[in-house]
Structure 1
């Protein structure tokens, strides 16, 4: 099944009946079936409570962004955004771009999307030296399908390669997006984090 169908129709099931010996008939002792990284990320991200919007092109991304603004009544509000390119991209939405942590929401790109945990990998390129609990509770993250990686190690390797060997400081992950979940297990990469209301606009670029 194609990426678009998997993301837009997560409940999709094949009409073909499974044959004996296929994964649906396997005992619990068989190893878990390996999923493609895009499907794995989508599953874990949604399971973490993230709000996922797939966009085929930039026009759809702008439309989705507008819908989020209307849904949350965020027009004419302060937006915490540290990336000049994003400020220019969304200049026509009547927003006030500031460097204030108490803004209505945080607008940002990211380094990678981690399939294994459904996490968003960020660095000082997006958040400077801010800790996650110092950022607004609501976030809109823009990413591309090519940024989906299997695990954090792969994401760190990409950061290093793109930075000519220089590793940005303050590398962290967000993977807790449900405010009603308590005692959620976190790894060392999400130290100092807090639960976030996060929208992901995923733009197709493959």
Structure 2
């Protein structure tokens, strides 16, 4: 009787293995469980670190008056002559602070140095700003100007993207979500051409977030 070849040995082992009873069925994964453990630190700290890590400029504001001072200083430092603001609540706020801005679309295409918008939420883990088309800023004001400015409150910070979506669903209703939801994670960038990093390829070259502390000490 000819000796077993290597192929015969492998096939025999496979047949023997298939005849053995299979081990216990593994437990069904819990797909609803969070992938990551909750952040150990304060969410404001986690967001600030993540936001700066992806290239954003983070400005903490202890109050609305502090925000006015910080925005005035930023406008002067960056020589922002044309700051566009379209949301009624932001207009009212800046009027109260004596901040000069353009509240309509006059000269928008030619002179949009910067746009100031609100946001829907802030994602601590990724440093992302959640934007939507539901506000008067629409789709353009956070994308077209060279510099993107965002005003947010500490109470808008959530741990993960799933928490942000849940917040939006509670606010608008599952069947009435805005037609556009977007995540701004750092300034617009690409390295598609010869692996050279270019900022502002598809949107603003910079993103600055003013965070007003509305949670207290």
TM-score computed with the length of structure 1 as normaliser: 0.70
Q: Are the structure 2 counterparts of residues 56 and 123 from structure 1 closer, same or farther at C-alpha, using a change threshold of 3 Å?
A: same
Secondary structure of the 1:98 match is coil
**1:162: which partner in 2?**
171
Larger Rg: 2
1:198 alignment partner in structure 2: 207
Who is 2:94 aligned against? 90
User: Distance in 1 between the 2:155 and 2:45 partners?
Assistant: 13
Distance, in Å, in 1 between the alignment partners of 2:163 and 2:202 is 21
Output the aligned Cα RMSD. 2.6
Partners of 1:44 and 1:66 in 2: CA distance: 25
Residue 160 of structure 1 deviates from its aligned partner by 1.6
Q: TM-score, normalised by structure 2?
A: 0.66
Gaps of 5+ in 1: 1-30, 184-191
- Do the aligned residues in 1 keep the contact of 2:68 with 2:99 (CA within 8 Å)? no
The residue that corresponds to 1:46 in the other structure is: 52
Pair 1:60-2:66 in alignment: yes
Aligned length: 164
Are the aligned partners of 2:117 and 2:142 in contact in 1 as well (CA < 8 Å)? no
Unpaired runs of at least 5, structure 2: 1-35, 193-200
Matched, 1:150 2:155: no
What is the Cα deviation at residue 128 of structure 1? 1.8
| Residue aligned with 1:162, SS | helix
Structure 1 distance, partners of 2:152, 2:38, is 27
Deviation string, structure 1 residues 68-109 (Cα, Å, up to 9, x no partner): 1110122xx333322011112113223222333551101111
